[in-house]
Chain A
Amino acid sequence: MADNKAKSGLLLDIRNLRIEATVFPPGEAPKNIVLVHDVSLTLEKGKVLGLIGESGAGKSTIGLSSMGYGRGGVRITGGEVILNGRDILKGGKEGFRKLRGREVCYVAQSAAAAFNPAHKLMDQVVEATLLHGTATRAEAEKRAVALFKKLSLPNPESIGERFPHQVSGGQLQRVMTAMALCSEPDLIVFDEPTTALDVTTQIDVLAAIKDAIRDTHVAALYITHDLAVVAQVSDEIMVLRHGRLVEWGGTRQIIKEPRQEYTNALVSVHEIEHQEQNPGTTPFLSVKKVTAAYGRSHIKVLKNVSVDIYPGQTLAVVGESGSGKSTLARAITGLLPPEEGTVTFDGRPLANRLADRPKEDLRQLQMIYQMADVAMNPRQTVGTIIGRPLEFYFGIRGRERDKRVAELLDKIEMGKGFIDRYPAELSGGQKQRVCIARSLAAKPKLIICDEVTSALDPLVANGILKLLLELQKEESVAYLFITHDLATVKSIADSIAVMYRGEVVRYGAKSKVLAPPFDAYTDLLLSSVPEMEIGWLEKAIKGRRMASAGN
């Protein structure tokens, strides 16, 4: 593949790429929409270009076009994709198959889903190499083991004998990177490779990917919505929005001197002003020494957990997946009756089981979930969804109900026009707003927010957080805010509980919890949050005192 163009150092040259798809809106004729509007980019050998933008920006679509691949009926309808000096779009199906897995490899967002559960890891890692006949099986396996070592996987000699379900998510993501590197491609497309991981695992995987790119001199397209992450690995960054180029420049220029307003908004996304409130004298809800387990399991998911929530304030519960954050919410709401300990509300104990609680207690505690679209009945209109708690708790019906629904829609900054819409017609942020309105309709004292912004794009998430803070002022509702994202916690919490393996390891007012000296886990958690600084990754890895649980 060494011809003139390649020698000059240019690996990938995408010119005026146009990508379209046919959508089938309900009740309307199918229509064509343009996903990518004439985007051009170039990538030199051994360089890393970060593609960044919110969902629907066309990042993945552009990345996959370098392999001639379109997800679910997506079509490349214009432009050229010149890889190693030839336009791959002219090569046809046969041409695509020859370059996929050989010249260009792909690392998916969720390695746990992207590995075939029926085959051993090694068979999958060397599959592309063997398919394209670039090495014998023995050579390919040797290469794979060397890559496992480079990516600092445990037991590099034997990990290939395992099945995907026997390996943790962070390790799988590294095995997937090894799989992409194994056929020694010229280009790897990384599609949000760390987004699905815990913050403490993300940093290790990120460091492993960065080292591997540096040592193998492979070029990469690194797709993510997290600017701080991409700043650690990229030479250049391209900001995309709605399938159009916003800004393209060196990493330093993009994060330090963004020229476009939209880029600026992405850079400063986490800056929310929130004055910490002093805890009042008496908490209205106290969790006292709660221990809980699923089924008759001996493994306790919550161990002796005690926290207090004060009226109109926010308690943030942070920790990585499996630390028991959501289980705490389930114990408080009565979905999972605790084995020991009590939850007191307004000075009286709440019934352990949901079924034993009176309606009034149910009304006082409301929940908002991570996945807004599955938390709503897709066959009910927004008006019905928000109106339901009004009917159920207060018996408000008819015109009075519609009036209240309109008021609530106003509160969540959505107009009356949304009353007759269905959830499928709303954007991700709007869906979450409707869920917020639904929980507010019950006029609760406490809203439990379980990772409510995790599934949203940063700017949209920011809007939701601002809305929640505003509503807190107006309605003086308290939040129990469950999240793994420390940046969110810093923005909105009054007090913080850090959870680790079912226990609260650090608890107190925000200013105290976030001030040194730290315990080992809180330190790890805090130091793992990516910062918009070039060179942060190396500093953070060096300064760590404790390995993350994913290893």
Chain B
Amino acid sequence: MSSPIVKLVAQRVALGILLLLAVSVLIFAGTQILPGDVAQAILGQSATPESLANLREQLGLNQPAYVRYFHWLGGVLTGDLGTAMSSGQDIATSIKGRLWNTLFLAFWAAIVAVPLAIILGLIAVRYRNGWVDKLISGLALASTSFPEFFIGYVLVYFFAVKWQIFPGISTVYDGMPFGERMQAIALPATALTLVVLAHMMRMTRAAILNVMQSAYVETAELKGLSAFNVIRKHAFPNAIAPIINVVMLNLAYLIVGVVVVEVIFVYPGMGQYLVDHVTKRDVPVVQAVGLIFAAVYISLNIIADIAAIIANPRLRHPK
């Protein structure tokens, strides 16, 4: 039964790995093209030609680029992301906590945003072209159209400054109780939800509306099913592939695109970490974070592909 599926899934995974390798080359090449190198950055103003040469020798920078690339890749594959120049700390250790924070925030934003978007999409289809549909679409579009920093500051103004329900600065630390942690991320999670909601909701609506033209939807209506059940039982299962796709794209955005929101709420996540080190021109950190973001993006898209393959009854149950 599963042979075509296994083959397709294996293809997707292999393609994903290949893509990730290609991205790693791009990231490495990109940081090489930038003027100056690590040795110059470390020594800064005090650089003399001799000390530069010495340091390059020390860091292995005078080796050809491909050797350094494989050296770096080998390190990455064994969990060694290198050392941050600015602080001299091991990148892997400092990223671990921050990645966990980012995932925590993205997870709770997704838990709220995904079901909400899909349910709103279903309701919009049920009352399509009526005022409920227009209201949902309008509000969702408005929330997406406002830039994240604007939404963030509006939330801070009302919830943190005026009513003082939630903290305006989302500081979290190790060993923080769950309840407090949730309170801390309430505002950034809300901001993220508002940003991704409309895209998913509108795609859900469009995908289901597309299916609503089908003859089998008419068949369901002529069986006497209620309008909402027609959508839920007969239209939704056939619209699932495009919906999963857009959901995964938005999940990726929740992890990769949180930079602005994290900075606004001073949340110790990956985005903050990246921005801090870009300003310090800390190339190894930028490389590591870039690679992790690429891996998240690619794996979520692979999951979307695989889910779409599995959702297709023609592939799940071949003739």
Contact = CB atoms under 8 A, between A and B. Distances in A.
A100 B314 contact: no
A118 interface: yes
Interface in A81-137: 96-102, 105-106, 108, 110, 113-119, 124, 127-128, 131-132
A425 to B, nearest CB: 24
A105 B220 CA distance: 11
A114 B223 CA distance: 12
Interface string A206-226: 000000000000000000000
Contact of B220 (A98, A113, A116, A162): A116
A97 B234 contact: no
Interface residues of A, number: 30
Contacts of B234: 116, 118-119
Contacts of B222: 67, 69, 100-101, 105-106
A306 to B, nearest CB: 32
B223 A71 contact: no
Nearest to A118: B237
Contacts of A116: 216, 219-220, 234, 237-238
Interface in B274-319: 313-314, 317, 319
A166 interface: yes
Contact of A128 (B218, B223, B226): B223
B224 interface: yes
B313 A165 contact: yes
A163 interface: yes
A115 B215 CA distance: 8
Nearest to B214: A113
Contacts of B218: 71, 108, 114
B26 interface: no
Given A114-B215, A117-B313, A132 B237 contact: no
Contacts of A165: 313-314, 317, 319
A98 B226 CA distance: 10
B313 A100 contact: no
B19 interface: no
B219 A115 contact: yes
A404 B220 CA distance: 52
Nearest to A129: B223
Contacts of A99: 224
Contact of A166 (B233, B237, B317): B317
A134 B215 CA distance: 25
A441 B219 CA distance: 45
Nearest to A100: B224
Interface in A139-175: 162-163, 165-166
A366 to B, nearest CB: 34
B225 interface: yes
B221 interface: yes
B238 A118 contact: yes
B219 A108 contact: yes
A98 B224 CA distance: 6
Interface string B230-244: 000110011000000
B319 A166 contact: yes
A113 B234 CA distance: 13
Interface string B252-277: 00000000000000000000000000
Query: Closest 8 A-B residue pairs measured CB to CB?
Result: A101-B223, A100-B224, A118-B237, A113-B215, A128-B223, A101-B224, A116-B216, A106-B222
Interface of B: 214-216, 218-226, 233-234, 237-238, 313-314, 317, 319
17 contacts: A67-B222, A71-B218, A96-B224, A98-B224, A99-B224, A101-B223, A101-B224, A108-B215, A108-B219, A110-B215, A114-B215, A114-B218, A117-B238, A118-B234, A131-B223, A165-B313, A165-B314
Given A100-B224, A118-B313, A163-B313, 10 more contacts: A101-B224, A105-B222, A106-B219, A114-B219, A115-B219, A116-B234, A119-B233, A131-B223, A165-B319, A166-B319
